[in-house]
Amino acid sequence: MKRFNLLALAFAIFFLFLIQMLGSLIRAIYVLDLLKTSLDEKALGLLFLFSPLLLLLAPRRPSAPLFWVLFGLLIVARGLTPYLNTSGRMLAAGVGTGAASLLLPLLLSADWPESKRAAHGLAASLGMALAVMLSIFLRTVDYSLDYSLQPEGGWVGWGLGIALGVLVAKLGRVEARGEQGNTRAATPAILGMYMVIGLMYFAFSAPAVIARWTEGDYRLIVGAVSLLTAIWMTATMRRPEWSERITGKGLMLWNALFTLSLSLTILAHRVPFPPTPDSPPIVIGPPSWVQQIPLAVTLLLFPVLFLDLRILWERVRQAGLSPRALVPGMMLGNLALILMVFAQIFSNVWGYVEPVSPWFRNKFCLPYLLMAGLVTLIVGGRAAPTPEQQRASEKPSIRIWSAILGILFAATLVATVLTTRVRAFAPRDHTLVVMTYNIQQANDVFGEASHDRQLALMEKISPDIIALQESDSVRISLNNVDLVRYYAGKLGYHAYYGPRTVTGTFGTAILSKFPLENTHSVFTFSDQDEIGIAVAEVHVGGQRFTIYNVHPDGSDTAMLVFAQTLLDLIDSKDHVIALGDYNLRPYEQPYQMIAAKLTNAWESARETASGETISEEDRIDHIFLSPSFTVLDATYLLPPDSATDHPVHWATIGW
């Protein structure tokens, strides 16, 4: 295989591992802090990103064994991660992220025999693009979970790690540059590279994220990102020199339009939350086609990020600096990436990390605007340098690459169809089984991943309606996993995600054996968490039922406003099922307001209820029903058997 192909494939696996390790590290830190709903010393795990500081202790011209040690650490850490518990994953992912962060400056200054004139920037950009396609495929085949990060798919990580080792060995003995030059040109370029990596990690390596921002068609969005990536790679391999024709102004315009469309994609779905307790609730229905125009433009323009990475990579290499001289840029890039991570997380947990986090309320767009904006300014700030020229013998093997990309895209497209199919269920005879399940982002009371156990419980009970809370996991804090899609796809249910991720709620999703109609979200005044009620209707056995999935929290005033709003919503409706994590106990006023109009399933069936005994203090997950229903049975299953930190509660109701 040609040396250029080896280099590009090595970059692909390297960037894939970097994104996976960074995502696993942040998820582990977030989950362990989630148990306390606060930020503590575990956040120091992000210091692994500052590992390039160790290069200050290394020789100016690092030896080849250092490369092998770091590649070995990355491969072993990546291979072990799927098999470890959350604390172990945090350590392994931290080591992997640290090794990758150390390797990045070494790769930027490295040369291999017979490849000193090869276009390393082109190889790096093609590698990033292939890494994005691989990430999309691995997530699509496992219902948005990265299959290779699950214990059953851990073999993929080991296989890719071995492949990386073979590729690096075939490239030959690496030589690091030892020059100490001016870092002024390299430092901004490295910062821009980190922002490109950040955008890939935040969104484009997991397009389910974008689908949940916009309530757009998942299959279309995933297919578009994968296809456009493949098209960009094919066009670039056929004519690597085409980017030289783009002027600095042209490139800045392309990036500026992408930054604008990306920001508008998010802002088009931003909700103006009720500012005061007296403000009316805000009702958000399905998006209009006008709201989806920025999304379409963003998908068409996003491949500019691959071109940006190529240009930025070449700028750094043309500076001719040693790895040690690149450390300031690496530190700035890592610091900026960490700040973007916190900005995104704080837009969700703004009520818990005072005094810093409240400012980030409803500013979900901010990190995306900053990352894309910085790339625009850095790349377009001056004319793009002339890329390193390739020898004819070092051009990509078009046929091989075209076959790889075609197979990968086709497999991804097939997976999007197979994982989104719904099953046909026969209705029960004038009965429904309804369940409310606070899944705590698919973690149990000990902070360990429990999506498989939660799924097994749902399959065992086989509810007709499932209301999920704390299900809004399609964000970097939970490694961009779409748990609603996972459960709905595995069960073959219809699903309504509820409030979109840009609103910063903790998630109220509705899963149903039967088609969901008239879906919308209702937002009430809140002062700690965004209070978003997911609403849907189902038609079963000749009757129409209205489902309300709730998860309020906040001050007494916010809870009273929520309770009154819920009563107003159900005022003229029959066959209401209002269930969820109410965060209310029977002695509290908002609960009593609701109980005066609706029937509590557990209390109605107390004498015949099955399951475990639960105290009044622990009973905050409720199923409320219109008086027209008859409660046949009600059950609470307590932790740890519930595979979360809440009891799971279900009831059989008749009419």
- CATH number for the domain including 479? 3.60.10.10
What is the predicted pLDDT for the residue at 113? 59
- Say which amino acid occupies 297: V
Greatest mean pLDDT range, 394-403, 563-572, 603-612: 563-572
Sorting pLDDT into bands at 50, 70 and 90, what band is 389?
very low
Does any domain span residue 239? yes
How far apart, in whole angstroms, are the C-alpha atoms of residue 299 and residue 303?
8
Sorting pLDDT into bands at 50, 70 and 90, what band is 355?
confident
Under a CB-based contact definition with an 8 Å cutoff, are residues 559 and 597 in contact?
A: no
Does any domain span residue 294? yes
Check residue 388 and report its DSSP letter: P
Least confident of 172-176, 593-597, 638-642: 172-176
Least confident of 25-34, 507-516, 586-595: 25-34
What is the predicted pLDDT for the residue at 1? 56
Q: What is the pLDDT of residues 553-590, one digit of tens each?
A: 999 999 999 999 999 999 989 899 999 999 999 999 99
| 318 in the same domain as 452 | no
| 355 in the same domain as 472 | no
What is the predicted pLDDT for the residue at 614? 84
Identify how many contiguous H helices and E strands the chain contains and give both numbers. Answer: 19, 16
Helices (H), 35-119: 64-80, 86-108
User: How much is the average pLDDT of 494-499?
Assistant: 97
SS (H, E, C) 469-521: ECCCCCCHHHCCCCHHHHHHHHHCCEEECCCCHHHCCCCEEEEECCCCEEEEE
pLDDT reading at 524 higher than 90: yes
| 603 in the same domain as 476 | yes
User: How much is the average pLDDT of 498-518?
Assistant: 96
Q: Last residue of a domain, which of 383, 418, 453?
A: 418
- Residue 17 φ/ψ, nearest 5 degrees: -65, -40
| 459 in the same domain as 412 | no
| 85 in the same domain as 181 | yes
What is the predicted pLDDT for the residue at 322? 86
| b/e sequence 329-362, b meaning 16+ C-beta within 10 Å | bbbebbebbbebbbbbbbbbbbbbbeeebeebbb
Q: Last residue of a domain, which of 418, 440, 467?
A: 418
> In this structure, is the dihedral angle defined by the CA atoms of residues 146, 499, 496 and 631, taken in order, positive or negative?
positive
How far apart, in whole angstroms, are the C-alpha atoms of residue 211 and residue 401?
28
Does any domain span residue 424? no
Among 538, 564, 533, smallest CA distance to 549 is for 533
What is the predicted pLDDT for the residue at 392? 41
Count CA within 13 A, CB hemisphere, residue 264.
16
Q: For the CA atoms of 313, 317, 322, 328, what is the dihedral angle to 10 degrees?
A: -40
pLDDT reading at 39 higher than 70: no
The strand pairing partners of 391, in sequence order, are: none
| 565 in the same domain as 472 | yes
Sorted by sequence, the CB contacts under 8 Å of residue 38 that are 6+ apart come out as 352, 353
Does any domain span residue 425? no
User: Can you give the pTM of this predicted structure?
Assistant: 0.94
What is the predicted pLDDT for the residue at 376? 96
Among 206, 42, 19, smallest CA distance to 128 is for 19
| 483 in the same domain as 405 | no
pLDDT reading at 89 higher than 60: yes
Q: Which of residues 284 and 383 earns the better pLDDT score?
A: 284
Q: What is the pLDDT of residues 312-346, one digit of tens each?
A: 999 998 888 888 889 999 999 999 999 999 999 99
Sorted by sequence, the CB contacts under 8 Å of residue 41 that are 6+ apart come out as none
Does any domain span residue 366? yes
Please give the tally of structural domains in the chain.
2
| 412 in the same domain as 438 | no
Instruction: CATH number of the domain at 353, please.
Output: 1.20.1250
Does any domain span residue 9? yes
| 437 in the same domain as 413 | no
Report percent pLDDT > 70 for the chain.
Answer: 92
Q: Which of residues 306 and 238 earns the better pLDDT score?
A: 306
How far apart, in whole angstroms, are the C-alpha atoms of residue 641 and residue 644?
8
**Element (DSSP H or E) covering residue 190:** helix 186-199
pLDDT reading at 456 higher than 60: yes
| 237 in the same domain as 354 | yes
How far apart, in whole angstroms, are the C-alpha atoms of residue 509 and residue 574?
22
Does any domain span residue 229? yes
pLDDT reading at 353 higher than 90: no
Rg of the chain (C-alpha set) = 26
Under a CB-based contact definition with an 8 Å cutoff, are residues 591 and 585 in contact?
A: yes
Does any domain span residue 423? no
User: How much is the average pLDDT of 370-396?
Assistant: 69
Among 52, 46, 236, 209, smallest CA distance to 127 is for 236
Q: What is the mean pLDDT of the chain?
A: 91
Q: What is the pLDDT of residues 139-161, one digit of tens each?
A: 999 999 999 999 999 999 999 99
Q: Last residue of a domain, which of 355, 386, 418?
A: 418
| 389 in the same domain as 473 | no
What is the predicted pLDDT for the residue at 390? 46
**Element (DSSP H or E) covering residue 416:** helix 398-418
Under a CB-based contact definition with an 8 Å cutoff, are residues 213 and 265 in contact?
A: yes
| 128 in the same domain as 34 | yes
Six-digit token string for 102: 């150390």
Q: Which residue has the tokens 């989950």?
A: 31
What is the predicted pLDDT for the residue at 386? 52
How far apart, in whole angstroms, are the C-alpha atoms of residue 265 and residue 209?
12
The range of the structural domain enclosing residue 57 comes to 3-418
Six-digit token string for 146: 């990265």
How far apart, in whole angstroms, are the C-alpha atoms of residue 345 and residue 368?
12
In 293-367, beta strands by DSSP E:
none
pLDDT reading at 411 higher than 50: yes
pLDDT reading at 34 higher than 80: no
The side-by-side arrangement of strands in the sheet containing 610-611 is 494-496, 508-512, 465-469, 431-438, 648-654, 630-637, 610-611
pLDDT reading at 266 higher than 90: yes
